[in-house]
A and B are shown apart, each in its own frame.
Chain A
Amino acid sequence: MKLIQLPTAVLAGVLSAPVLAADYSVTVTNLTRGIYFTPLLVSAHPADMSLFNPGAEASPALQAMAEGGDISGLSSALSDGGAIIVENPAGGLLGPAQSTEVMINNDDAPDNTNLSIVAMMLPTNDGFVGMPAVALPMDQGTYHYNVLGYDAGTEANNEIRGSGAPGEAGFPAPGPVDTASGTNGTGINAEVEGFVHVHRNVLGDTDAAGGASDIVSTVHRWLNPVARVTITVN
Chain B
Amino acid sequence: MTNRCWFAIPAVLLALAGCDGVNNPPIGPAPMNDPEPDPPATREFQVSVLNLTAGQPLSPIALILHDSSWEMFQLGAPASVAVETLAEGGDNSMLLDEADGDAGVVATTSAGGPLPPGATELLTISAEEDSVDLFSMMTMLVNTNDAITAARNISIASLDVGERIEITTLSYDAGTEANSELAGTIPGPADGGEGFNAARDDIADEVRGHSGVVTSDDGHSDSVLTQAHRWDNPVARVIITRID
Chain A residues with a Cβ under 8 A of chain B = 50, 52-56, 131-135, 137-139, 143-149, 151, 153, 157, 188-191, 193-201, 203, 212, 217, 222-224, 229
Contact = CB atoms under 8 A, between A and B. Distances in A.
B101 interface: no
B75 interface: no
Contacts of A188: 217, 227
B234 interface: yes
B240 interface: no
B23 A145 contact: yes
Given A55-B120, A193-B55, A200-B53, 7 more contacts: A54-B237, A55-B51, A132-B25, A145-B24, A189-B226, A198-B235, A200-B231
Contacts of A53: 28-29
Contacts of B218: 203, 217
A197 B53 contact: yes
A197 B230 CA distance: 12
Given A137-B15, A200-B55, A145 B22 contact: yes
Contacts of B217: 188, 203, 212
A147 B25 contact: yes
A189 B226 CA distance: 9
A153 B21 CA distance: 32
B104 interface: no
B26 A134 contact: yes
A190 B227 contact: yes
A61 B8 CA distance: 29
A196 B27 CA distance: 11
B28 A52 contact: yes
Contacts of A191: 228
A148 B22 contact: no
Contacts of B51: 55
Given A135-B15, A143-B15, A147-B25, A55 B118 contact: yes
A197 B54 contact: yes
B232 interface: yes
Contacts of B230: 200-201, 203
A177 to B, nearest CB: 21
Nearest to B6: A146
B32 to A, nearest CB: 11
B224 to A, nearest CB: 15
A200 B54 contact: yes
Nearest to B237: A54
B52 A197 contact: yes
Contacts of A217: 218
Given A151-B54, A188-B227, A224-B234, A146 B24 contact: yes
